[in-house]
Amino acid sequence: MSKSTTDTSCPSRKKLKTIIRKQVSSLGILLLLIIWQLAGFFQLLPKYILPTPIEIIQAFVRDRALLWQHSLYTLQTALLGLSLGVLIACALTLIMDRYAWINEMLYPILVVIQTIPTIALAPILVLWLGYGILPKIVLIVLTTTFPIIVNILDGFRQCDADGLRLFELMGAKPWQVLWHLKIPNALPYFYAGLRVSVSYAFISTVVSEWLGGFEGLGVYMIQSKKLFQYDTMFAIIILVSLISLLAMKLVQINEKQVIKWKPNRK
């Protein structure tokens, strides 16, 4: 009797542990929000330093029309720059993989560009290209190409040596090796770089809007700061984070749809 009871209780215990494990992060965030709200309620932190979660939600409701308008502009700019960055990165990767001397010439330049802080590069581009959308697009392209190039090149290098040798023995042309072996092997690496580039795209867009522009969440954040609307500032920060997380989730969903030959992908 006791043995059967133990057998039936074990699956339920495992299921309970699984549920708790999955909800740990959510419980941690909820606990942080409660502490944050209580700290503001008891005036442990001034509102100009850290508005409470309720005040930030009220700012979302109060300024929803302006937040929607500026977020659309930021989203369009980020997606345009990211799309160009992905196309340029893929083209450069193919050239760098085909010609070793171009790889040796371009790779150090890309590394140097990547080490320049975005906040330092943005004002230079605004000075050169003006206050329109062009400097924003250029900055997004510069920050999003490097992760994709590095990851795709790693994917190419990780190709199975026996597979490459087999293609060589069969007299396959370079484009056939690329299409049938290198690109399928590099797709997971591409999506890993794309997830990083997506977050970089929105960060670069907001930074460029800080320094010059007429629309966008970065511009609205600066305006809110000048008006001492700190609850709106935090609402914009949270909104940018949510958009970035949503974009990264969409990339992950697309990866699962495209890469179907990986049985262990979840």
Q: What is the pLDDT of residues 141-197, one digit of tens each?
A: 999 999 999 999 999 988 887 888 888 888 888 888 888 888 888 999 999 999 999
Do the domain assignments include residue 92? Answer: yes
Who has greater pLDDT, 235 or 1? 235
Is residue 110 domain-shared with residue 177, that is, in the same domain? yes
Residues 112, 34 share a domain: no
Please report whether residue 263 resides in a domain: no
| CATH number of domain containing 111 | 1.10.3720.10
Domain housing 32 = 1-45
> Is residue 81 included in any domain, yes or no?
yes
Least confident of 17-31, 160-174, 239-253: 17-31
Res. 1: pLDDT tops 50: no
The model's pLDDT over 229-240, given as tens digits with 9 standing for 90+, comes to 889 999 999 999
Count of residues for the chain?
266
At 167 the pLDDT is 81
Sign of CA pseudo-dihedral 93, 94, 100, 105: negative
Q: Residue 265 domain-assigned?
A: no
Does 85 map to a domain? yes
Q: What is the pLDDT of residue 228?
A: 87
Domain assignment present for 264: no
Same domain, 160 and 127: yes
- Mark whether 92 and 210 lie in a shared domain: yes
Domain count for the chain, please give it.
Answer: 2
Same domain? 129 vs 160: yes
CA distances from 38 to 28, 29, 183 (A): 15, 14, 53
11 versus 108: the higher-pLDDT residue is: 108
> 203-239 burial, b if ≥16 CB within 10 A, otherwise e?
bbbbbbbbbbbebbbbbbbbebeeeebbbbbbbbeeb
- The per-residue pLDDT for 249 is 93
Confidence of residue 18 (pLDDT cuts 50, 70, 90): low
| One-letter identity of residue 129 | L
215 phi, psi to nearest 5 deg: -140, 165
Residue 157 resides in a domain: yes
Same structural domain for residues 109 and 144? yes
Same domain as 14, residue 135: no
User: Each residue of 44-58: pLDDT tens digit?
Assistant: 777 777 888 899 999
Verify that 94 and 34 share a domain, yes or no: no
